[in-house]
A and B are shown apart, each in its own frame.
Chain A
Amino acid sequence: GAVVSQHPSRVICKSGTSVKIECRSLDFQATTMFWYRQFPKQSLMLMATSNEGSKATYEQGVEKDKFLINHASLTLSTLTVTSAHPEDSSFYICSATRVAEAFFGQGTRLTVV
């Protein structure tokens, strides 16, 4: 199947700093990627749709100024958590769709201390 790579897999940052997470489609081009957040023992919640060459669309309740999404190429989307706080600690995971099937990155465990 298609490969989606996410980096880093784990990151610990201090409160108030920003963290960038990368999501790459390695063997296909993805005009659209999706970002999810998953809190412990909970489901994956869609945060936003990343659109290549245009602005991301955010789900209700997700702060676009806090979660900056950039999709500058057909193989790379980045999510930047700005001014991170402990409540932003979560598992962030991206996905890209190829031939109508979603492929997920490995996920990023963010811990804000």
Chain B
Amino acid sequence: GENVEQHPSTLSVQEGDSAVIKCTYSDSASNYFPWYKQELGKRPQLIIDIRSNVGEKKDQRIAVTLNKTAKHFSLHITETQPEDSAVYFCAAEDSSYKLIFGSGTRLLVRP
């Protein structure tokens, strides 16, 4: 089955700097890669996603890149703000719509 690895587990950046979180997946049949932001005790919120027919997608300060050959995808947050502080999860979805999550990255943006 699918296995998703995520790095780093914690990330501390200065406000205004960029943050990059990386994930790798194992199942080449996976074709949908969402990123979620989760605040303590709340449901994951989709922040951006990418499908396997696209290499990059951007939404304001957030971008995601996908390298299908290498089976890795990354989240890029530019001009970070304190409210970006949260736990971020990557995920890979297989053909049966199962989402397999990465281990999470705790992002701290220092004012």
Q: Footprint of B on A, CB under 8 Å?
A: 32, 34, 42-46, 49, 91, 93, 95, 97, 100-102, 104-107, 109
Q: State which residues 48-62 of B face A: CB under 8 Å.
A: 49
Give Cα distance in the complex from A109 to B42, angstroms.
10
Give the distance to chain B from A48, nearest Cβ to Cβ, in Å.
Answer: 10
Q: Which residue of A lies closest to B44 (CB)?
A: A104
Interface of A is mostly: strand
Q: Are B96 and A49 in contact (CB under 8 A)?
A: yes
Q: Footprint of A on B, CB under 8 Å?
A: 32, 34, 41-44, 46, 49, 89, 93, 96-104
* Total A-B pairs, Cβ < 8 A: 46
Q: Are B41 and A44 in contact (CB under 8 A)?
A: no
Give the distance to chain A from B58, nearest Cβ to Cβ, in Å.
Answer: 18
Give the distance to chain B from A50, nearest Cβ to Cβ, in Å.
Answer: 12
Report 14 cross-chain contacts, Cβ distance below 8 Å, ordered by A residue. A34-B99, A42-B104, A43-B102, A43-B104, A44-B89, A44-B99, A44-B101, A46-B99, A46-B100, A95-B99, A102-B99, A106-B42, A107-B42, A107-B43
